[in-house]
Amino acid sequence: MSVVARKKQEIEFRYYEVPEGEQVLALLGENWRRVYGDDVNSLHFHNLLEIGFCLEGTGHLVLDERTVSYAPGSLTVIPQNFPHVTNSRMSSLSYWEYLFLDPEAILTTVYPQDDIFVHKLLDRINHDAVCLDAGKNEELAALVRMAMEECRNRKSYSVEVLRGILLSILIMVARNDIEPGGGVKPEKHLHRGGLEQIIDALDYINKHYMEEIRVAELARKCSLSETHFRRVFVEYMGMTPAEYLTLVRIQNSCELIKKSRYSMEEVARRVGYPTVSTFNRNFRRIVGTSPYQYKKNRENYEGKLLNFNVSAKKGW
């Protein structure tokens, strides 16, 4: 089966928000019985770990430069910033349900004093994307179904129950002993192509956006020359590294404005801007208004943030 053709510049960045006070965004129910990939010729990636479970239908998934088939009982684990797309067979209906979560947020809550252990787990969790046979990975599949049912039918102590289930899922994935045939998952290929060439830079920006970041440093992390890194980044992201860093900073500033009582000076500092004037200028350019006006009436402006660039779209 051939890989779905797509234009590099059309790869989409879709970002997701875990509801305030929750640990996971669950996409469940009949809304997700649909034709997947219809009229879509581009891959996408997002800021959260995606776990999917196929209940009905057949088709294939493109995982960067690989193509794998899916059927009822297929289970996907797709790390943050990993390019992929789901395509139903011959425009037929498929039924998937999904969990989206931030592994680092969950792990740092459970292991607040053990950064080394957390980052070791994250490295293993983000090792690769896989499409699994639930029948050959019964323990992981059972945990995923438990988490989905807990999200579907909230009961007493649901937050605590979900925390335990999600932690178990992450540890199971980090054990690195899952793969479609049920054996040991092979090591990731040393050759890196496609968007995968710059995934280390995307990961670094998403984790360190509040710090000063230089393009040369990002290029080194991807083992590319600075010139080649810039060219690949623009080809696949549709924006420069500096524009992507600005987008990530402004997205995070919007979250801080919505969910905290920080002053604008503090918000600016926390997302990497040493001066409020620089923060204001970049915020207005992307969102279309000042941070102060956004705080007062953000519902009128959030759409502009989503549509800042054709490559940046709200998840689903």
**pLDDT, tens digit, 9 for 90 and up, residues 215-270:** 999 999 998 899 899 988 888 777 899 988 998 899 889 888 888 889 999 999 99
Average pLDDT over residues 122-140: 90
How high does pLDDT run on average in the chain? Answer: 83
Closest listed residue to residue 232, CA positions, set 189, 193, 191: 193
**Does a structural domain hold residue 184?**
no
Does the pLDDT of residue 188 top 90, yes or no? no
Do both 47 and 108 map to the same domain?
yes
Range of the domain at 134: 8-174
Beta strand 59-63 with 66-70 is antiparallel
- Where are the alpha helices (H) located in the chain, listed in sequence order? 103-110, 115-125, 138-152, 158-174, 199-208, 215-221, 226-237, 241-259, 264-270, 276-287, 291-296, 302-306
Residue 285 falls within a domain, yes or no? Answer: yes
Please report the pLDDT score of residue 71 as a whole number.
Answer: 96
In a domain, 88, yes or no: yes
pTM greater than 0.75 (yes/no) = no
71 and 104 share a domain?
A: yes
Does 213 score more than 90 pLDDT? yes
Do 160 and 228 lie in one domain? The reply is no
Place of tokens 């649909």: 34
- Tally of domains within the chain: 2
**80 within domain boundaries:** yes
Terminal-residue alpha carbon distance, the chain: 26
- For residue 186, pLDDT over 80 is answered with no
Q: pLDDT at residue 182 above 50?
A: no
257-297 residue pLDDT tens: 888 889 999 999 999 999 999 999 999 888 888 998 888 87
State the average pLDDT over residues 39-49.
80
CATH label of the domain that carries residue 41: 2.60.120.280
CB 240 within 8 A of CB 230: yes
Residue 269 belongs to a domain: yes
Inside any domain, residue 132? yes
Condensed to tens digits (0 to 9), the pLDDT of residues 63-120 reads 988 899 999 999 999 998 888 999 999 989 999 999 999 999 999 988 988 888 888 8
3-state SS assignment for residue 91: helix
Verify that 203 and 266 share a domain, yes or no: yes
144 with 241, same domain: the answer is no
**Band (301; pLDDT cuts 50, 70, 90):** low
β-partners of residue 69 are 60
